[in-house]
Every structure is written in structure tokens, then in C-alpha cells.
Amino acid sequence: MELGERCHLVSHVAIEGPTKIGADNAFFPFCSIGMAPQDLTYAGEPTRLEIGEHNTIREFVTINRGTVKGGGLTRVGNHILVMAYTHIAHDCVIGDHVILANAATLGGHVTVEEWATVGALCPVHHFIRIGAHSFIGGGTTITRDVLPFSKTSAARDVQAYGLNAVGLERRGFSKERIRKIHHAYKVLLASKLNTSQALEKLKAEADRGEDVEMLIRFIEQSERGVIK
């Protein structure tokens, strides 16, 4: 196990290896870091967990190492807040500046892209992708990929309710960038076009901007379908 400089282990912290941890991380009581994956196929192989820098890992969090079939590595980025009772399963990849609220539960092989927020008590199905700058409301069960920039929350049916405009403003997105993304969401969610037709319409428009290009790529690469 490798532990970087200025890490703070408050008390009763369990860390097992192989685990590599960067500098300036805080681990609160009773968190369990780098333990063997909860996978019936795991047979004691020396898989790994890597954690970046400037992360806060709160009470009773569990972060498991990877599995051979998943590439052997669970990776947690930088500047991440992992709230109490959260579970990060084997082979997950967590991007920078992510917030995982209390008791968020990530199945194996989940990818959470940068600046995303997963609300409290959210179970996330294995192999899911959660797009950058998205916000998932508490208690939402996630079984398909979550669109970048979206607000997604459970009512009776899970659906994307529109643009995460407040979050984008807080992160310094210009009004013009937000306008272009908002237009793309109107085409995707508010028009009578199906997803394929909406994508064709967006791809035919000039000056879409890199954010809309990212949104289009995300949808086209989705294997489980996206929440709309």
C-alpha cells in the first residue's frame, strides 16, 4: 500500500492493498478502502485501487479493488467528495470533482465522469456511464446511462428533466455555451422527434459547439440507451 503526503486518517480506517493513494486525502472513521471486490469470480488475484489527490472519504465508505475480468483496477480521481455509506464497487472509474452523496451505491464497472453529482440513496446498475456535469436526484435508481449536463430524477418514471443550468453557471459556462446546450436539449426532449431523428437534426446544424458535439457522441456510444 502506498500513502501520499499529508493524508489524514481520522481513526478506525481500514486500508488494504495493492492500493495507491495520492496526497492530501482525508479518510473518516470506519471507511474501508481497497478491500477485495464483492464478486464471486474473484479468486484472490492482486488487483488494484488507485486514488488521486485532495479527496474526502467520509464515514463507512467502502471502495473495492478491481477484478481481473474488469481490467484489474478501480480508479478514483481528484477533488472528490464521497459521503457517508457510499459504496464504490470493483472496476469503477470516478472522474475529478465528482460528488457521491450519502449511500450512493455504484455497481461494478460504473464510470462517473467529471463534475457529476450522484444524489443520496441512488443505486447505480453495473456497467453504467454517468455523464459529465450531470446531477442525479436522491433516491433515483439508475439502470441506463445518464446524459451529460442533465438533471435526472425519479418521479414515477425516471427521466431527464432538462438542463443542469445552475450547475453549469456555477462552473463558469458562458451564456452562449448554455444557450447551445439548452437548444440541443429542447430538440432531444421537447420536440416530437425520436432520439435518432433528434441526433440527425442536431448534426445538421452549423456551429453546434464542442459541448453539443460531446452530447451527440455520448448518445451515439451508449450501449444501454439513455434516460430521456
Q: Which residues are catalytic?
A: 90-91, 108
Q: Answer for the pair 100, 81: CB distance below 8 angstroms, yes or no.
A: yes
| Cβ count near 69 (within 10 Å) | 15
Contact 112, 126 (CB under 8 A): no
| Distance, CA of 13 to CA of 22 (rounded, Å) | 16
3-state secondary structure string across the chain: CEECCCCEECCCCEECCCEEECCCCEECCCCEEEECCCCCCCCCCCCEEEECCCCEECCCCEEECCCHHHCCEEEECCCCEECCCCEECCCCEECCCCEECCCCEECCCCEECCCCEECCCCEECCCCEECCCCEECCCCCECCEECCCEEEEECCCEEEEEECHHHHHHCCCCHHHHHHHHHHHHHHHHCCCCHHHHHHHHHHCCCCCHHHHHHHHHHHHCCCCECC
